[in-house]
Structure formats: C-alpha cells, structure tokens
C-alpha cells in the first residue's frame, strides 16, 4: 500500500472512531511526525501508533552494569515534531529518568518540537506543602522535564489541575472520562447516582454526573489519618436502592474506594461501581477491590497491567484512540478542548 493510501486509511479510522471531521493530512506533515515510546507502557504506545497510522520510532534502550540508562534514537529527527510516550508509573523514578534522557536525546538531535506525552503524572499528589520542610515534588518534576528540553506537555487526568501552572511551556490536559462514560452508557444502568469519594473530588464527580444524563450526586466526607490511610465519616446524598458509581482520578491502595463502597452498601446502594482513570494498584488494592463490594471496577490502561493485578471484577478500557487523536490535533494545530464538549 502506498504512503498516501496509508494516510487516507488512518484518517478514515480516526473519523469513524471519534465521529470527527478530520482533514486528510499532507504527506509532508505526516513525515514530520515521530512517535517514540519509553519502556513504561509500550503496549499503549503501540496502540496509539496504530491509530495514527504510523510505527513507533526505532531506539536503543539499555542499562549499564551500575544501573545507568542509555538511550539512542536510531533515525533522523532533525526538524521533526517528536512525541514521547512515557507514564511516570512504577518504578516512578526510573521512568521519569528515562523520559528525561529521551527528551535530552531528541533535543540534541535537533528535533523541532518535543512533546512529552505523560498518560500518568507521577508525584502529582505532592502538589503543595501541607507541613513544614516538605518538597513540592510535582513542581520539581515539572522543572526537570522543562529543563531537559520538552517544548510541550500532554498529560491525562492530573490529580491536581494546578500542576498545569507549574510548566512554563504549552500544556494539553485531557481526560479519560469520555472512554469510561461511553462504556457505562453502553451498560444501560438504571437509577444511577454518581459519588465523589471525598470533598476534593466533587468537581470531577459533578462533571461526570452531568455527562451521565444529569445523574444525581452524592459526596463521601472523610478524614485522612495519614498517607494511604482514610477514615470514612459521613455520606451526603441519597443512594438507597440506587446504582452508585464511585468516581476518582486514581486508585492506589484502594482504601478510599473500599471504605466508600462499604458505606454505600450500608446506606442501601443496590450496586456499587468504581471508576478511575489511573490504576496504580499498590498492595493491597487487588485484594480490597476483589472482595465482593464492587459489581465492577472500571479503569483505563494509562498504567500497564501485570497478570497478578487482574481479577474478575476488573474492566480495563483503552485510552489509545483518545491520546492518538489529541496528538494528531496538536500536530495539526487544531482544537483539543472541543473533543470534550
């Protein structure tokens, strides 16, 4: 198949997938687009590449005996728009360092634009000082990425939206909620109430409820005793006899979700669903989520899954098409926000 036909077929797939009027790209524009993947989530990067109708760029990645990383881009990217896909998931420090080295390699190879595509932004919870002598690590990571040479950031569902302001370069913030909403609507659930697991997530849950046919909203009031330990105190709203949908940006140890689900069951919820974009799943998350409290746990593939983290109630949705369409719109200088209206 000729390159022009490949481009045309990829554009048709994009339009059909997201029901968008996507202009056919010129061959010269397409030749300037380069996509590379770090080691953190290669399957997601491969899906994004398929959506765009291109292949992942070749690169050498190895580790020396003392643990140092080595990366070499194995094709010319001079004057190209380069997109580097690398979530800052476990092992977070290694994956961030790998991203920094990739950015530096592309900068030294004279790439025209370097976009760090970060499906999951690590250290996002350290976004402010809550006690004396603490680091604002989310800002530190932003400084490192910028100083390495990134010219644009594309991230998904930040734990704190203010992190966008930590960067002095263009920042595109996209959301995994359309993928989760499409899936929930296909299930045709009845008597839905959207539940925020804490007061800080009310804005997220309200936006989710509005797009879910203006479903009613409930809020769980909790007091956090220490890091990764939460105590649920009260429920604001009515869930009796309803299908409760708990919505959060991430599930880490699942303490907040499981305590929330237990409270919802006590208050008479007929079914409880858990929805989150990022499945961090630190121990003992899997044991808690598979305990029978949830009808289904719905997450996306921003973070890769190992076999030992899979369980019967888990559903993993792909955000590859969403990221791929965003990358294409950034490359074509068209609107990203219109995708979420």
Same fold, 3-176+320-340 and 177-317: yes
pTM of the model: 0.89
Task: Lay out the sheet containing 314-317: strands in order across.
Answer: 229-236, 217-226, 192-196, 243-251, 271-279, 296-300, 314-317
The β-bridge relationship of strands 192-196 and 171-174 is unpaired
Q: Alpha-carbon dihedral of residues 54, 58, 68, 87, nearest 10 degrees?
A: 10
CATH architecture of 177-317: 3-Layer(aba) Sandwich (3.40)
User: Crossing angle for the helix pair 137-148 and 92-108, nearest 10 degrees?
Assistant: 20
End-to-end, the C-alpha distance of the chain in Å comes to 36
Alpha helices for 133-176 (secondary structure H): 137-148
**What whole-number distance in Å separates Cα of residue 71 and Cα of residue 57?**
13
pLDDT digits (tens, 9 = 90+) for 81-98: 999 999 999 999 999 999
pLDDT score of 76 more than 80:
yes
The pLDDT confidence band at residue 233, using thresholds 50, 70 and 90, is: confident
**Least confidently predicted of 27-31, 35-39, 247-251:** 27-31
The pLDDT confidence band at residue 230, using thresholds 50, 70 and 90, is: low
Active site members: 222
Give Cβ neighbours of residue 182 (< 8 Å, ≥ 6 apart). Answer: none
Task: Look at residue 3 in the predicted model and tell me its pLDDT.
Answer: 42
pLDDT digits (tens, 9 = 90+) for 127-178: 999 999 999 999 999 999 999 999 999 999 999 999 999 999 999 999 999 9
Which is nearest to 5 in space by CA: 27, 22, 20?
A: 27
**What whole-number distance in Å separates Cα of residue 28 and Cα of residue 217?**
49
Average pLDDT score over residue span 174-183: 96
Query: Is residue 70 within 8 Å of 63, Cβ to Cβ?
Result: yes
Task: Look at residue 226 in the predicted model and tell me its pLDDT.
Answer: 66
pLDDT score of 25 more than 60:
no
List the beta bridge partners of residue 60. Answer: 72
Q: Which fold has domain 3-176+320-340?
A: Rossmann fold (3.40.50)
Where do the structural domains in the chain lie, given as residue ranges?
3-176+320-340, 177-317
pLDDT score of 187 more than 60:
yes
Task: Look at residue 26 in the predicted model and tell me its pLDDT.
Answer: 44
Task: Look at residue 95 in the predicted model and tell me its pLDDT.
Answer: 98
**What whole-number distance in Å separates Cα of residue 341 and Cα of residue 336?**
10
Which is nearest to 262 in space by CA: 299, 288, 296?
A: 288
Query: Is residue 119 within 8 Å of 87, Cβ to Cβ?
Result: yes
């Amino acid at each position: 198949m000729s390159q022009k036909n490949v481009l045309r077929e990829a554009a048709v797939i994009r339009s059909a997938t997201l029901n968008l009027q996507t202009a056919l790209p010129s061959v010269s524009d397409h030749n300037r687009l380069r996509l590379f993947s770090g080691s953190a989530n290669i399957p997601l990067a491969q899906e994004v590449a398929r959506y765009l109708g291109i292949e992942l760029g070749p690169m050498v990645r190895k580790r020396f005996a003392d643990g140092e990383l080595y990366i070499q881009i194995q094709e010319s990217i001079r004057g190209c728009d380069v997109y580097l896909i690398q979530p800052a998931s476990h092992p977070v420090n290694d994956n961030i360092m790998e991203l920094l080295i990739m950015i530096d390699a592309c900068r030294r190879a004279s790439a025209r634009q370097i976009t760090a595509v970060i499906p999951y932004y690590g250290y996002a919870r350290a976004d402010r000082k809550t006690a004396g002598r603490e680091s604002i690590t989310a800002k530190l990571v932003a400084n490192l990425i910028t100083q390495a040479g990134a010219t644009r950031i594309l991230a998904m569902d930040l734990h704190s939206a203010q992190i966008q302001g930590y960067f002095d370069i263009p920042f595109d913030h996209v959301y995994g909620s359309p993928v989760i909403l499409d899936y929930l609507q296909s299930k045709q659930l009845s008597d839905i109430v959207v539940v925020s697991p804490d007061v800080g997530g009310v804005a997220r849950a309200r936006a989710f409820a509005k797009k879910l046919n203006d479903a009613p909203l409930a809020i769980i009031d909790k007091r956090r005793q220490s890091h990764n330990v939460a105590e649920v105190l009260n429920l604001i709203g009515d869930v009796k006899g309803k299908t409760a949908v708990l919505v959060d940006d991430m599930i880490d140890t699942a303490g907040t979700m499981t305590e929330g689900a237990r409270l919802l069951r006590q208050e008479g919820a007929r079914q409880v669903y858990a929805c989150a974009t990022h499945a961090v799943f630190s121990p003992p998350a899997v044991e808690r989520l598979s305990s029978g409290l949830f009808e289904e746990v719905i997450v996306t593939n921003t973070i890769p899954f190992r076999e030992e983290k899979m369980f019967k109630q888990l559903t993993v949705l792909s955000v590859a098409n969403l990221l791929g369409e965003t990358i294409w719109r950034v490359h074509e200088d068209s609107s990203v926000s219109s995708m979420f209206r």
